[in-house]
Amino acid sequence: MKHDVQLRTVEETPSTNSALAAMGASAPHGYAILCRRQTAGRGQRGNSWESAPGQNVTLSLLLRPHEIDAAAQFTISEAVAIGVADTIAPLLPGHDVRLKWPNDVYAGDRKICGILIENSLTGRTVDRSIAGIGLNVNQQEFLSDAPNPVSLRQLTGRTYDIEDMARRLCANILTLLDTPADELHSRYRTLLWRGEGLHRWKDAGGRCFDARIAEVAPTGHLTLEEIDGTRSTFAFKEVSPVM
């Protein structure tokens, strides 16, 4: 199904997520706000998001999914992350585009996109989702203490049209949201960064251990299996990979 993206571009706003949320019920499914300069952009874990004005895709997309159960709301996160990957992977031959649990997008071992999803529930279903997306596109230098940022331009030497990139990105996400949940989850699992083999992890208590990703549940919970077969399941922020 083809989806029409309603993209509004603004020069400056503190947060595109907040601006879209303030529209309330007037914002239709597929409506997006793209901002040239975001003064208080938010990332996961309460972090800020560094973005040079006019150089990157900093947008929020309003989604009104059809009857997604609250317990399965991670499906929306999967659709958004895969949509980003599908948009940039054809531009990055030779670079392995992957999804770092729960929904960062990596090119190799460097972060090219961060995603913040805020869901509103009505009863047991998701009424609306606001997907905040920060995709590094034309930025050539990063000044924050973020450990591993990278942009499309840094990897390819090319510059890209930001608005065109934003429209294609939103269209991909809207299409993926119509994909059956089990198919979407299978693709997400296949695209996971460090999805195979043993890697170093650190839990919220500070313990470091080697484990493989055994499973990502439809709820988004991550199950890791250690060398001795011990399995532990974690929610977001309870465990992180050691870089």
Q: Please report, for the domain that includes residue 233, its CATH number.
A: 2.30.30.140
Do 32 and 62 form a contact (C-beta atoms < 8 A)? Answer: yes
Would the CA dihedral through 37, 17, 234, 172 be positive or negative? negative
Residues 177 and 222 in one domain: no
Asked if residue 1 is part of any domain, the answer here is: no
Residues 142 and 41 in one domain: yes
| CATH code of 107's domain | 3.30.930.10
Residues 44 and 129 in one domain: yes
Residues 60 and 176 in one domain: yes
Long-range residue pairs from 138-147, CB within 8 A, at least 24 positions apart, any chain: 138/55, 138/56, 138/162, 139/51, 139/52, 139/55, 139/56, 142/50, 143/50, 144/48, 144/50, 146/50, 146/111, 147/243
The per-residue pLDDT for 179 is 93
The DSSP 8-state label assigned to residue 70 in this structure reads G
pTM to 2 decimal places: 0.93
The per-residue pLDDT for 39 is 78
Q: Which residue has the tokens 């090119």?
A: 107
Give the number of domains in the chain.
2
**pLDDT tens-digit map of 134-159:** 999 999 998 877 779 999 999 999 99
pLDDT along the chain (243 residues), means of 10: 84 93 91 89 53 89 91 96 98 96 96 95 92 96 84 98 97 95 96 97 97 95 97 96 93
In which domain, by residue range, is 209 found? Answer: 199-241
Strand ranges inside the chain, DSSP E: 6-13, 31-38, 57-63, 97-100, 104-107, 110-122, 125-135, 199-203, 208-216, 222-226, 231-234, 239-241
Residues 14 and 124 in one domain: yes
